[in-house]
Amino acid sequence: MNIVIVDSSSVGLKILSSMLEYQGHKTHVFTDGQEAFDFIRSNLDVNLLLTGLELKSMSGFELCWDVQLLCQRGRQIYIIAMSSNHDERKLIETLDSGAEDFITKPPKEQELLARLRVAQRMQSMQKEVIKLASLDSLTGILNRRAFFDHCELHCQNAKNGEALTAIMFDIDHFKRVNDVYGHDIGDKALTCVVNTVQSEFGLFARMGGEEFALLLPRIAKDKALDIAEQLRIGVEKLRIDAPKKSLKITCSYGVSEWQKGDTIESLLKRADLALYMAKESGRNQACFGEHNIQMAVPERSKKRVEICYLS
């Protein structure tokens, strides 16, 4: 585990750090509570906090509380508090401040290691719960809710001047696929389309039915259109095994670029309008959505367009 240890005793920190590193854990030690919190906030791989209650800058109670707030934003950090004071009220206050566990200071080695094993089991279960809540059960990519949760940081970066684009796309004539070939083949078509999207592109989610969203951090309009075309060609080449024949499918794409004053909703709205235009213009192509979603007619991509119907 990647552990931050905080205590007022430098000697105690050295002993704990040596004990845990000998067991294969990575440790970072602090006597100052604020410095420890700043480190935890900026290092996303920290997954356990072991802290005393009498610290510099802030109390252990405050540190537990602030780290617990980070956990409410999607972090997984197990908190164990340490104290030589056996006052029941202090124990209650510590747990109410966000600590998951409490151990007497100085902790006995075997007891501490056992509590760390509990922490590992708890985090493993939490990861599985988060996975089940965040991923689409059919395709394994983000679901709609998780997609919007993950967009926050990228939108903030876009407000600070970083490029951000979005692609909305769906499968052309998907209802016909289900009606003619059955939902099993429709599900296969969905997973095949998902497999054409490279993970390094950005945040990828199934928004519902046959519709997908792709958020592209640090990518501007022209590159986003290139990616949409790359995806279009990849899907066009797919051949899906179906009873008696091979099924050929295509997708249509709408692309939008972050503009001043945007929100994730307005960015996706323009992409969705551009997707609608791509379908109205013949499908199997990409269109770019202009800034004014009330007045603009999406710009048709200059990429090659070829309409492909079901075989």
H/E element holding 147?
helix 144-159
Of residues 289, 268, 271, the one with CA closest to residue 144: 268
State the Cα–Cα distance between residues 92 and 105, nearest whole angstrom: 16
Q: What is the DSSP string of 273-298?
A: HHHHHHHHTTSSSEEEPPS-TTTPPP
Q: Is the Cβ–Cβ distance between 266 and 155 less than 8 Å? A: no
Of residues 300, 148, 273, the one with CA closest to residue 215: 148
H/E element holding 236?
helix 221-236
User: Is 100 part of the annotated catalytic residue set?
Assistant: no
* Contacts (Cβ under 8 Å, ≥6 apart) of 8: 31, 52, 54, 55, 56
Q: Is the Cβ–Cβ distance between 278 and 285 less than 8 Å? A: yes
Active-site residue, selected from the candidate residues 210, 229, 265, 306 = 210
Q: Which residues have a catalytic role annotated?
A: 210
